[in-house]
């Protein structure tokens, strides 16, 4: 049984290329958002509250911000674990 050689550069590039999609899918699933809602929320900015001077209406709630940070860490950690095989090649 022969072990197929993987092009390291291609593998790393493909992994990084899928990060944004993976992150978006996780956020949409966890926050119950559609893809258009994800992009709408991403473009959103905090707005001044027309009814209360000096206050703002946030583009994202605190709960959404916490969940997004949690998912970012999860995607980042998963990618780091995957890339560990390449780090080990050159740290022996």
pLDDT of residue 92: 65
> Using N-to-C axis directions, what is the helix angle for 8-31 and 62-89, rounded to 10°?
160
Q: What is the domain extent for residue 36?
A: 18-89
Rounded to whole angstroms, the Cα distance separating 55 from 49 reads 5
Residue 10 falls inside a structural domain: no
Residues shown for the chain:
92
Tally the domains of the chain. Answer: 1
pTM listed for this prediction:
0.79
Residue 4 falls inside a structural domain: no
Q: Is the pLDDT of residue 37 over 50?
A: yes
Burial of 31 (0-12, 13-18, 19+ CB in 10 A): middle
Residue 5 falls inside a structural domain: no
Residue 11 falls inside a structural domain: no
Query: Model confidence at 16, in pLDDT bands (50, 70, 90)?
Result: very high
């Amino acid at each position: 049984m022969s072990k197929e050689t993987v092009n390291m550069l291609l593998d790393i590039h493909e992994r990084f290329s899928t990060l944004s999609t993976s992150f978006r899918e996780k956020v949409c699933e966890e926050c119950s958002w559609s893809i258009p809602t994800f992009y709408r929320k991403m473009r959103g900015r905090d707005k001044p509250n027309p009814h209360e001077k000096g206050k703002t209406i946030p583009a994202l709630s605190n709960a959404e911000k916490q969940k997004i940070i949690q998912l970012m860490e999860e995607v980042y950690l998963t990618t780091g674990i995957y890339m560990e095989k390449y780090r080990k090649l050159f740290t022996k």
